[in-house]
């Protein structure tokens, strides 16, 4: 599943090609995605895309009439291509621009979403009650420490809670906890304030590095058969069960926490 860095790279990839452009029409070939594509999305026709933002894993295309809200689900991808380009299988939604280009959303498993929030309407329910963005000043170790008091759940599950902070998916939770030397199984309420300060900094570092690595793939967004820039990453523990820890040589172990595969070094993480 695409995580925050992949979605941010998607935002960076499509933004230069669609911001300032006028939407001619929205073509919905398959309305049955994770949720039905609302008919109200046609209000975006003849509107200028004034901004492309990301909130958690949602991309928000802003116009004067309202916002198109996109989610890539588990297999979704976005491409900017000429309108007359051959339509590929699973190209379910197409935002056609008056300059002859279009933004196509391809989603083989149909777990993604294309939604609408009209101007003046309340924030979409999916975006309400979300925690802060991890790469902003609103997220820090103090927040983690305060919210974790009295919680017995595993610290890995805690930092993956979107009410605590958005966008710390499975890969980056594993990597950040390793870098901070914290056992992912440890109870969230038993992690000290100092260690949470370190953990928050590592979360910021690992996400920022992933976004930087993904930046090399931005050209893929304008290839007719391009992918959305999911990129190879240099991972320290994720997916490395049975291999030697790069820091101490101990064998990396894996365990299931919150129904997610979890990887850790039993020597480096306490």
pLDDT at 74: 85
Q: Is 3 a catalytic residue?
A: yes
pLDDT in tens, 57-114: 999 999 999 999 999 998 888 999 999 999 999 999 999 999 999 999 999 999 999 9
The response to whether 149 counts as a known ligand-binding position is no
Choose among 257, 227, 247, 66: nearest CA to 153: 257
pLDDT at 231: 52
CA distance 172 to 10: 18
What is the location of CATH 1.10.8.50 in the chain?
141-264
CB 148 within 8 A of CB 205: no
Q: Is 2 a catalytic residue?
A: yes
Topology classification of domain 141-264: Helicase, Ruva Protein; domain 3 (1.10.8)
Mean pLDDT of the chain: 92
pLDDT at 219: 54
What is the location of CATH 3.20.190.10 in the chain?
4-123
Structure-token match 């802060």, residue found: 132
Out of 5, 6, 8, 57, the active site residue is 57
The response to whether 151 counts as a known ligand-binding position is yes
pLDDT in tens, 198-226: 999 999 999 999 888 876 555 555 543 34
* Tokens encoding 138: 């609103």
Out of 25, 185, 209, 260, the active site residue is 260
CA distance 108 to 89: 8
Q: Is 57 a catalytic residue?
A: yes
pLDDT at 76: 87
Question: What is the CATH superfamily name and number for domain 4-123?
Answer: MutM-like, N-terminal (3.20.190.10)
pLDDT in tens, 120-178: 999 999 999 999 999 999 999 999 999 999 999 999 999 999 999 999 999 999 999 99
Identify any residues that bridge with 93 across adjacent strands, giving them in sequence order.
28, 105
CB atoms under 10 Å from CB of 258, counted, come to 15
CA distance 208 to 154: 24
The response to whether 109 counts as a known ligand-binding position is yes
């Amino acid at each position: 599943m695409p995580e925050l860095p992949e979605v941010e790279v998607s935002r960076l990839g499509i933004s230069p090609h669609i911001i300032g452009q006028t939407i001619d029409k929205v073509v919905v070939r398959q309305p049955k995605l994770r949720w039905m594509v609302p008919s109200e999305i046609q209000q975006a026709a003849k509107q200028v895309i004034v901004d492309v933002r990301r909130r958690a894993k949602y991309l928000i295309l802003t116009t004067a009439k309202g916002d198109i809200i996109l989610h890539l689900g588990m297999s979704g991808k976005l491409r900017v291509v000429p309108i007359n380009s051959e339509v590929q299988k699973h190209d379910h939604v197409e935002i056609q621009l008056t300059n002859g280009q279009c933004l196509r959303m391809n989603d083989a498993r149909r777990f993604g979403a294309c939604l609408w929030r009209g101007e003046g309407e309340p924030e979409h329910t999916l975006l309400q009650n979300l925690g802060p963005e991890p790469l902003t000043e609103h997220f820090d170790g103090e927040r983690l420490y305060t919210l974790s008091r009295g919680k017995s759940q595993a610290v890995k599950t805690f930092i993956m809670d979107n009410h605590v902070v958005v966008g710390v998916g499975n890969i980056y939770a594993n990597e950040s906890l390793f870098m901070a030397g914290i056992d992912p199984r440890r109870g969230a309420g038993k992690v000290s304030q100092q260690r949470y300060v370190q953990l928050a900094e590592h979360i910021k570092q690992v996400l920022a590095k992933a976004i930087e690595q993904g930046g090399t793939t931005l050209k893929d967004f304008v290839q007719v058969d391009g992918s959305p820039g999911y990129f190879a990453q240099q991972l320290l523990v994720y997916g490395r069960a049975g291999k030697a820890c790069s820091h101490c040589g101990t064998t990396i172990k894996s365990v299931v926490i919150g129904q997610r595969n979890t990887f850790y070094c039993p020597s480096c993480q306490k």
